[in-house]
């Protein structure tokens, strides 16, 4: 019975994946407000730590949640996208939503939306926000760690008035929605700062983005904390076992903080989470340095520089989905001396294919392209093939489905080197789940 209800819930949610959100004149915000009223969700009942940016939002959110969980502070965590199961998006106090609770919430949403006159304008992110806030309301939670979607103003979540606005690294991404320059993008994302926002944690190194936020700081009543000005880190060690870094902020001086998560970029994300903790201290929260260090040390995030062996073959799963993330991934691969022999990729239709492929250029590796798990977001093989030829790449193949990719990796190639799976978090989660299931 549960399986049939679960399958129905997934089928219902899938119909929203292909919808194009109407953002003209803030219509997507009006739809969000309508839905909050329809489901009796009052934003004033919550306190939000809202996270936007181009890279590192999910990891930063998990670091913040781990610190809160370690100190037994009740809170909700909303992230996206998910890897293989929708339930991954919704957590409270470090625990993922139960499947039965998830199914029930989807049924509630489906029932009420059936009578909503503008149902055809409700998009996927609208639904995710409603489910998240209904769940957090059921759990009696006030403090919410909330990862935004594509932007600030362009995101339905811009109806939220966060107490703390967090900005992770900024790069060119979703340009079709956010604009053609970094300034366009940060202008959009900075709209999460509202009059009630007490702190803005500016955790990016991008100079243009920082300069724009520095201008806002001069005009806004919000307290701005910038990485490498008000807080910062020194990386001491990074290898296949993780990283060690020093952190200095307004309240904490932490020596030899360990991270299990691979990649030097995770140090930046963890530092941003520490800066959020320091802002919470100024708001009356209390944190113990040893507990914080324990929390950060044990954070693990699936498919983010995740090294895993399956049937004697080593895989590196990383959901990098824009050019900066792929460039950072390549830098980490090089610094860790990882011998990549095969790169499995899919690229979403709204991405700059050439820039992404140039960012993950690995000599002598064979590139295997396969369709995006959400077909409506799939770049055509013709576009990818044309781009590959234009940049002079010849060592690639196209495979029609995941079963063919599995057969190629495990039965048609010699098992040497590491197989990298990247380009889309959805693809990475799908491949990991499929490969594990079909080898056990």
pLDDT for 152 equals 80
Collect the ranges in the chain with pLDDT lower than 70. 1-2, 173-179, 349-351, 374-379
Domain boundary residue, one of 262, 297, 332? 297
Cα separation, 257 vs 95, whole angstroms: 24
Residues 256 and 347 in one domain: no
Residues 43 and 100 in one domain: yes
Residues 265 and 210 in one domain: yes
Of 50, 74, 85, 293, nearest to 156 by C-alpha is: 50
Concatenate the DSSP letters of all residues of 228-283 into one string: TTTBEEEEEEEETTEEEEEEE-SS-EEEEEEE-S-STHHHHHHHHHHHHHHHHHHT
Residues 17 and 66 in one domain: yes
Residue 253: burial class (beta carbons within 10 Å; 0-12, 13-18, 19+) = exposed
Tally the domains of the chain: 2
Residues 29 and 173 in one domain: yes
Residue 366: burial class (beta carbons within 10 Å; 0-12, 13-18, 19+) = middle
Find the CATH number of the domain harbouring 47.
3.40.1190.10
Residues 290 and 310 in one domain: no
**CA dihedral sign of residues 305, 310, 313, 319:** negative
Q: The tokens of 94 are what?
A: 């470090």
pLDDT for 393 equals 78
Find the CATH number of the domain harbouring 315.
3.90.190.20
Residues 279 and 325 in one domain: no
Of 422, 306, 268, nearest to 359 by C-alpha is: 422
Of 142, 107, 113, nearest to 31 by C-alpha is: 113
Cα separation, 135 vs 124, whole angstroms: 17
Q: Which whole-number Å values give the CA distances from 343 to 253, 305, 365, 416, in the listed order?
A: 40, 14, 7, 13
Q: What is the pLDDT of residues 350-383, one digit of tens each?
A: 657 788 888 999 988 999 998 877 655 566 778 7
Domain, as residue range, for 278:
2-297
């Amino acid at each position: 019975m549960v399986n049939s209800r679960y399958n129905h819930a997934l089928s219902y949610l899938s119909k929203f994946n292909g919808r194009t959100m109407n953002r003209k004149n803030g219509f997507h915000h009006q739809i969000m407000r309508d839905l909050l009223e329809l489901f009796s969700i009052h934003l004033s009942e919550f306190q939000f730590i809202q996270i936007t940016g181009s890279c590192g939002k999910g990891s930063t959110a998990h670091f913040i949640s781990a610190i809160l969980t370690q100190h037994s502070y009740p809170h909700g965590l909303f992230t996206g996208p998910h890897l293989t199961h929708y339930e991954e998006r919704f957590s409270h106090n470090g625990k993922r939503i139960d499947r039965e609770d998830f199914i029930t919430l989807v049924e509630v949403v489906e029932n009420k939306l059936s009578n909503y006159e503008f149902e055809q304008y409700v998009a996927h992110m609208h639904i995710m926000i409603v489910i998240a806030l209904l769940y957090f309301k059921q759990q009696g939670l006030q403090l919410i760690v909330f990862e935004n979607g594509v932007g600030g103003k362009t995101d339905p979540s811009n109806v939220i008035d966060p107490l703390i606005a967090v900005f992770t690294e900024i790069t060119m991404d979703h340009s079709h929605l956010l604009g053609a320059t970094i300034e366009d993008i940060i202008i959009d994302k900075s709209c999460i700062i509202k009059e009630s926002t007490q702190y803005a944690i500016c955790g990016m190194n991008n100079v243009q983005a920082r300069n724009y936020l520095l201008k806002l700081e001069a005009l806004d009543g919000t307290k701005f904390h910038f990485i490498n000005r008000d807080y910062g880190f020194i990386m001491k060690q990074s290898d296949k076992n993780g990283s060690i870094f020093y952190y200095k902020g307004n309240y904490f001086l932490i020596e030899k903080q360990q991270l299990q998560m691979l990649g030097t970029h995770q140090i930046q994300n963890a530092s941003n989470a520490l800066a959020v903790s320091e802002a919470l201290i100024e708001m009356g929260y209390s944190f113990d340095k040893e507990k914080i260090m324990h929390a950060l040390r044990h954070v693990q995030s699936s498919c983010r520089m995740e090294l895993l062996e399956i049937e004697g073959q080593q895989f590196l799963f990383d959901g990098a989905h824009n050019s900066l993330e792929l460039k950072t991934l390549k830098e980490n691969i090089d610094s860790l001396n990882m011998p990549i022999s095969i790169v499995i990729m899919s690229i979403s239709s709204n991405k700059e294919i050439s820039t992404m492929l140039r960012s993950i250029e690995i000599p002598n590796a064979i590139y295997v392209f396969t369709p995006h798990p959400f077909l409506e977001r799939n770049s055509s093989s013709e576009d990818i093939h044309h781009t590959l030829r234009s940049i002079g790449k010849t060592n690639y193949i196209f495979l029609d489905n995941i079963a063919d990719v599995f057969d190629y990796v495990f039965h048609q190639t010699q098992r040497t080197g590491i197989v990298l799976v990247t380009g889309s978090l959805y693809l990475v989660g799908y491949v990991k789940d499929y490969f594990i299931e079909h080898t056990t």
